[in-house]
């Protein structure tokens, strides 16, 4: 595998929530941006995290994890008024997860920083979601950063009630690459009155309406699709023994970005991303410990 950390510019910056998922059997580090950063780093793509922790024990534990994992934390901020985020996660039907996201918390107050702007180059992947826009402080900072020429990757990650039609539309118009799951794709159709049933028509509606050049649709065990301009690519999924689904979509996105950065062809992008999402679903939590060789062996077994 090629070493992609030689570029002196940090190739990826993830923006948004960093938190503890409080699960029935104990807390796990989480938040989509943290999960994506974790797996990008595992895949050899140097990554910085833009977020905010509280001045508390939970924040110190997260900061220590970033050090242990090698994720760049110089863009991580500390809030002396609001606590480090916790999300109360509940398991439903064995594997599916529902979340109660506490508000307000430290990452709702990410402040603007010239240091962040200075790191966003045209070759940088800037990864963001909709949840980090639920409070005006972090939302204003995000829109300031979205003026960059970096490659803007929008992981929809809709968490009602923390999204509105207008906000979602604004975020979509800023994105170069958007990742949906099937439920989110249907939800966006409803938001913007897209009366299309076939996936290809739904995607074209979004591409035309918001000028999004590249769209990914994840389908769990059924694989994923990638739409790039007027081309469409599809790869079927593989059955895996699921431990839990926490972070599997985030690991999929990380593998997609890492392979996109390397210039891999679309079918390879999808296969590697599907393999990573399936691999993490066999493990516990969004940031499980693993060696890169384990993932590569898993990928070779299923494809």
Sequence ranges of the domains in the chain: 12-18+32-49+110-302
CB 238 within 8 A of CB 271: no
Pull the structure tokens for residue 61.
Answer: 């534990």
pLDDT per position as a tens digit, 149-164: 999 999 998 877 778 8
Q: What is the pLDDT of residue 94?
A: 58
Q: What is the pLDDT of residue 115?
A: 93
Q: What is the pLDDT of residue 7?
A: 40
Residues of the chain where predicted confidence (pLDDT) is lower than 70: 1-8, 91, 93-97
pTM of the model: 0.94
Q: What is the chain written as a DSSP string?
A: ------SSS-SEEEES--EEEEETTEEEEE-HHHHHHHHHHHTT--EEEE-EEESSHHHHHHHHHHHHHT-B-TT-EEESSSPPEEEEEEEETTTEEEEEE-SS-GGGGPPP-HHHHHH--TT-EEEEESGGGSSHHHHHHHHHHTTSSSEEEEE----TTS--HHHHHHHHHH-SEEEEEHHHHHHHHHHTT----SHHHHHHHHHHHH--SEEEEE-GGG-EEEEETTEEEEE-------S--TTHHHHHHHHHHHHHHHT--HHHHHHHHHHHHHHHHTSSSSS----HHHHHHHHHHH-
Angle at 129 between CA 225 and CA 43, to 5 degrees: 65
Handedness of CA 167, 46, 245, 217 (dihedral sign): positive
CB 5 within 8 A of CB 45: yes
How far is residue 77's CA from residue 299's CA, in Å, rounded to a whole number? 36
Q: What is the pLDDT of residue 97?
A: 67
Task: Among 3.40.718.10, 3.40.50.620, 3.40.1190.20, 3.30.565.60, name the CATH number for the domain at 12-18+32-49+110-302.
Answer: 3.40.1190.20
Q: What is the pLDDT of residue 225?
A: 98
């Amino acid at each position: 595998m090629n070493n992609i950390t030689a570029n002196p510019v940090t190739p990826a910056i993830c923006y948004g929530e960093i938190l503890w998922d409080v699960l029935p059997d104990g807390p796990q580090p989480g938040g989509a941006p943290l999960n994506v950063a974790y797996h990008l780093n595992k895949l050899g793509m140097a990554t910085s995290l833009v977020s905010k922790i509280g001045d508390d024990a939970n924040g110190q534990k997260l900061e220590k994890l970033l050090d242990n994992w090698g994720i760049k934390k110089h863009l991580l901020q500390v809030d002396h008024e609001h606590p480090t985020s916790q999300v109360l996660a509940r398991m439903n039907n064995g594997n599916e997860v529902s979340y109660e996201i506490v508000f307000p918390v430290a990452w709702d107050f990410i402040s603007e920083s010239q240091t962040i702007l200075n790191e966003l180059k045209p070759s940088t992947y800037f990864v963001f979601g909709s949840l980090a826009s639920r409070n005006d402080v972090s939302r204003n900072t995000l829109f300031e950063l979205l003026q960059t020429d970096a490659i803007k990757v929008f992981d929809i990650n809709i968490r009602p009630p923390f999204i509105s039609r207008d906000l979602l539309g604004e975020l979509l118009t800023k994105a170069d690459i958007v990742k949906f799951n099937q439920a989110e794709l249907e939800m966006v159709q409803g938001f913007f009155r897209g009366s299309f049933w076939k996936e290809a028509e739904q995607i074209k509606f979004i591409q035309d309406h918001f000028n999004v050049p590249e769209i990914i649709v994840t389908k769990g065990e059924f694989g994923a699709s990638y739409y790039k301009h007027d081309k469409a690519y599809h790869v079927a999924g593989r059955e895996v023994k699921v431990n839990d689904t926490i972070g599997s979509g985030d690991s999929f996105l990380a593998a997609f970005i890492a392979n996109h950065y390397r210039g891999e062809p679309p079918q390879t992008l999808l296969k590697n991303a599907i393999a990573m999402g399936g691999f993490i679903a066999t493990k516990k939590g969004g940031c499980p410990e693993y060696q890169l060789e384990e993932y590569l062996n898993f990928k070779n077994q299923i494809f």
